[in-house]
Chains A and B, each alone.
Chain A
Amino acid sequence: MSDELKPDQLLDKIDHTPSCGNWMDTPVHIRPGMYCYAAKAESVETLGLPNARPWNPTDDDWKLPENWKEIIHNAIKERLERFRTFKVFMDICVRCGACADKCHFFLGTGDPKNMPVLRAELLRSVYRNDFTKAAQILKMIPGGEKLSGGRPMTLDVLKEWWYYFFQCTECRRCSVFCPYGIDTAEITIMAREIFNLLGLNIDWIATPISNCYKTGNHLGIQPHAFKEMIEFFTDDIEEITGVNVEPQFNKKGADILFITPSGDVFADPGTYTCQGYLILFKYLKDKYGLDVTWSTYASEGGNFGFFTSHETMKRLNAKMYAEARRLGVKWILGGECGHMWRVIHQYMDTMNGPADFLEEPVNPITGTKFENAKSTKMVHITEFTADLIKHGKLELDKSRNANRIMTYHDSCNTSRGMGLLDEPRYVLQHVCDNFFEMPPNTIREQTFCCGSGSGLNAGENMELRMAGGLPRANAVKYVHEKFGVNTLGTICAIDRAALSTLMEYWVPGVTVSGIHELVGNALILPGEKERETDLRCDPLPGMEEEEDE
């Protein structure tokens, strides 16, 4: 024990230099490039949410309701009673710091308030001040307020909340490392609910929801335009394959209703994934008589309501099931999306379930029962396709994707939110020869977020997105340089849009592709002509020279 320090030696080791300041005393600076524009008044109005008015986050006056402090206090109180998780998460954090360096926003921005523990502390400090006995007793002693780690709600605190809770993508990577299992995403969800009670949503979330509420999808596309767009893809596919894939819309009595995020129909490069779905459905119709219908009403799988409040999420989710009931299908097949699946997997059943008017999903071609979807009646398309491949039901020509050197990005919501880890990889490896994983601490449950999820994929916050996406891009850069990876596969519509831009900044030379785009390339349609190009109209491997001639 001789190497044990004596008390005075121990005291000598204490650093008496004052630190550069307590986080509570560091005021918030709302920096352009890091925040999203305020919600438009008309979008807030459409949804019947309170305090619709024009406002600007950089203005001193946020035009809050007079009793805003009371609204916040009551909102926290109500949620502590309603959500056991929220109450527990407010109390049990021991500030061990295990989560501190696990957040992509902290790693990328270097801002300590983006450490999940500190971001949560922004809210916890007010909770302690307002709701714990200890804080109320300590407050009576001079200087006791600080001892409890509490602070009163002020306008600066609210602005700090707003700035940092919109620098969290609710990806839940931090919760994987928390020894108590605290889900910081839930704390962000509560904070954002509170913002909506004060009219403090961002426009990139509020307007898509309002559109979705009015026309059925985030982009506000009306049914006829939705149909026209898919018919346009049909022409494109016919040009490439010589086959008319004949999509069906709003067909009553079809076997399956297919719902995908509207980004797949309207935003590149998701549009190529959409063409992949169309090719797959045509193949299954011709070979096995499977009857799949699209809906021009339930034309959105995504659910930005999830980033607003539980009630808004419920309202948007309900329309998918209403449409399934109206059309009388057996079950729902869902496209490649991220948060749509977290909503289905973790919330749908208690929100709008049970969907007992639908059948328990069984793949009619293979007989496989999708046990995990027993109650929600909604199956993820990579599970469905993986099952078809496993049973040898698809004829695939991998060589058409021979120019793709692939890696795979696990979307936060499908990996951590529903455990969908191996099916997309299984599909990829059957449609493509060259596949390389990124390092283990950046994939599967530990995957790094794209930095643009949970409604943060706007343009005005580009610096935030690029900084938040750095840990992901850094791992892609590694496999790009080591193995020559040129394509990043993913199964999320936000990812397809956000990662494309992220790659342009950090790893030029890597394109982003949905998994079913590659399925569409490889799948051999009955009666197809010899294909010369892939779905992007680029020459197929081996066809480049003919193209030049």
Chain B
Amino acid sequence: MDINQQLELKKEEILKKWFESAINSYPEDTAKFLKKSKNQFDNPVGSATLQSLENTFRDILEMKISKNYKYSQDIVEQNKIENALDPIIRIRAVQNFSASEAVAFVFELKNIVKSTIGKLNDQNSLEEFRGSSSNSVISSYELFEHKVDLVALAAFNRFMKCRENIFLLKATEAKRRIHSAFERAGLVTELNENELVGSSKS
């Protein structure tokens, strides 16, 4: 059985543990609630987290990896993963987490898979499982770890995009609200963006 088949087999258990570990990054009283309520409108954080992890896990299973395992060559897969991660990262980017705390849940997946799939292979031990690869270049477990690393990079990308988005919103909100109305009324005389673009053309 290759690792993808094993992950598929243990999907529910892995997802459950992954969800719990992500939710346990919240204070205890909050985590209790986030795990409990199933309604997506009463519990937007819990349900978006679960949905996002499910989609990410699905994408990990379907991921096509470049032959030489270069992170830089797997951009397409990274973009796909970024979309799957968006809901959970977008939420964590505005909550009380440092950057590392916000994306740490990705790395938890390695330990969860080790402990879950390790059990499947207890006759041969995890070490043997790691070595029992049909792949001649790296073992199937290492391939899985490579995929998780790609997810981590994607999470980092998305986290940065969300933070930049927040700062952009801060910077442009006041201008858009007040300045544009004043500008249309001719109450301010600065050049607007179109005029600046126009003058550079001429």
- Interface residues of A, Cβ cutoff 8 Å to B: 19-20, 31, 33-34, 100-101, 106-112, 115, 219, 225, 228-229, 232, 236, 266-268, 271, 439, 441-442, 459-460, 462-463, 466-467, 470-471, 474-475, 478, 497, 500-501, 504-506
A111 vs B27: C-alpha distance when bound (angstroms)? 7
Does A111 lie within 8 Å of B178, measured CB to CB?
Answer: no
* Contact of B41 (CB < 8 Å), options: A112, A236, A459, A471: A471
Does B181 lie within 8 Å of A466, measured CB to CB?
Answer: no
Among A106, A110, A266, A506, residue most surrounded by chain B Cβ atoms (within 10 Å): A110
Per-residue contact bits, chain B 89-114, to A (CB 8 Å; 1 contact, 0 not): 01100111000000000000000000
A20 vs B25: C-alpha distance when bound (angstroms)? 13
Identify the closest chain A residue to B48 (Cβ).
A474
Give A500 Cβ to nearest chain B Cβ, in Å. Answer: 8
A110 vs B23: C-alpha distance when bound (angstroms)? 10
A477 vs B62: C-alpha distance when bound (angstroms)? 27
Q: In the complex, which residues 140-192 of chain B have their Cβ closer than 8 Å to any Cβ of chain A?
A: 165-166, 169-170, 173-174, 176-178, 180-182, 184-187
Q: In the complex, which residues 38-53 of chain B have their Cβ closer than 8 Å to any Cβ of chain A?
A: 39-45, 48
A500 vs B172: C-alpha distance when bound (angstroms)? 12
Also in contact, A505 and B165, with CB within 8 A (given A271-B181, A467-B95): yes
Chain B residues lying within 8 Å of A232, measured Cβ to Cβ, are: 184-186
- Interface residues of B, Cβ cutoff 8 Å to A: 26-30, 33-34, 37, 39-45, 48, 90-91, 94-96, 165-166, 169-170, 173-174, 176-178, 180-182, 184-187
Chain A residues lying within 8 Å of B186, measured Cβ to Cβ, are: 232
Does A110 lie within 8 Å of B26, measured CB to CB?
Answer: yes
A467 vs B180: C-alpha distance when bound (angstroms)? 27
Chosen A-B contacts, 13 in total, with CB atoms closer than 8 Å, are: A33-B166, A107-B42, A110-B96, A111-B27, A229-B187, A232-B185, A266-B178, A462-B169, A462-B170, A466-B94, A474-B48, A501-B169, A501-B173
Among B94, B165, B176, residue most surrounded by chain A Cβ atoms (within 10 Å): B94
Give B186 Cβ to nearest chain A Cβ, in Å. Answer: 8
Give B174 Cβ to nearest chain A Cβ, in Å. Answer: 6
Pairs A-B, 10 closest by C-beta atoms = A474-B44, A112-B29, A232-B185, A267-B177, A466-B94, A463-B94, A110-B30, A467-B94, A110-B26, A462-B170
Does B178 lie within 8 Å of A459, measured CB to CB?
Answer: no
Does A109 lie within 8 Å of B169, measured CB to CB?
Answer: no
Number of A-B contacts (CB under 8 A): 104
A479 vs B129: C-alpha distance when bound (angstroms)? 47
* Contact of B180 (CB < 8 Å), options: A268, A462, A471, A506: A268
Does A101 lie within 8 Å of B43, measured CB to CB?
Answer: yes
Chain B residues lying within 8 Å of A107, measured Cβ to Cβ, are: 42-45
Identify the closest chain B residue to A29 (Cβ).
B96
Does B44 lie within 8 Å of A470, measured CB to CB?
Answer: yes
Does B27 lie within 8 Å of A112, measured CB to CB?
Answer: yes
Does B170 lie within 8 Å of A459, measured CB to CB?
Answer: yes
Give B156 Cβ to nearest chain A Cβ, in Å. Answer: 19
Other than the given A441-B41, A474-B48, 10 more pairs (CB < 8 A) read A34-B96, A109-B96, A110-B30, A112-B29, A115-B29, A232-B186, A268-B181, A439-B41, A470-B44, A470-B94
Chain A residues lying within 8 Å of B187, measured Cβ to Cβ, are: 225, 228-229
